[in-house]
Amino acid sequence: MGSEDKKILDKRQWQGFDRLFIQNLSDEDAAKEMGFKSSESGRKAGYKQIKNLKNTLKEKAEKILDDKGIVFLNEDIDETDRPTKE
């Protein structure tokens, strides 16, 4: 995600995105690092918060793709970097 996309996420959402999808931490490790706890016995720490965070991130990603399309992902690549058909 670029700096423009960081504006779409609030600080907490960006922290979750970073831990889950950039650092590739497990749900449980990300929840622990973010200080999430569980009030349900038998549940891992932050189970519900991580579930809700992932849903929010998915919705925002879908909105970005709807608004900009997938092409925006390659905006920083010039034509010489693209593979050619032979």
- The pLDDT of residue 7: 75
pTM: 0.68
C-alpha–C-alpha distance, residues 27 and 2, integer Å: 23
CB proximity list for 62: less than 8 A, separation 6 or greater: none
Q: What is the pLDDT along the chain (86 residues), one digit of tens a residue?
A: 555 556 788 999 999 999 999 999 999 999 999 998 877 777 777 888 999 999 999 999 898 888 877 765 565 555 544 455 54
The amino acid sitting at 49 is: Q
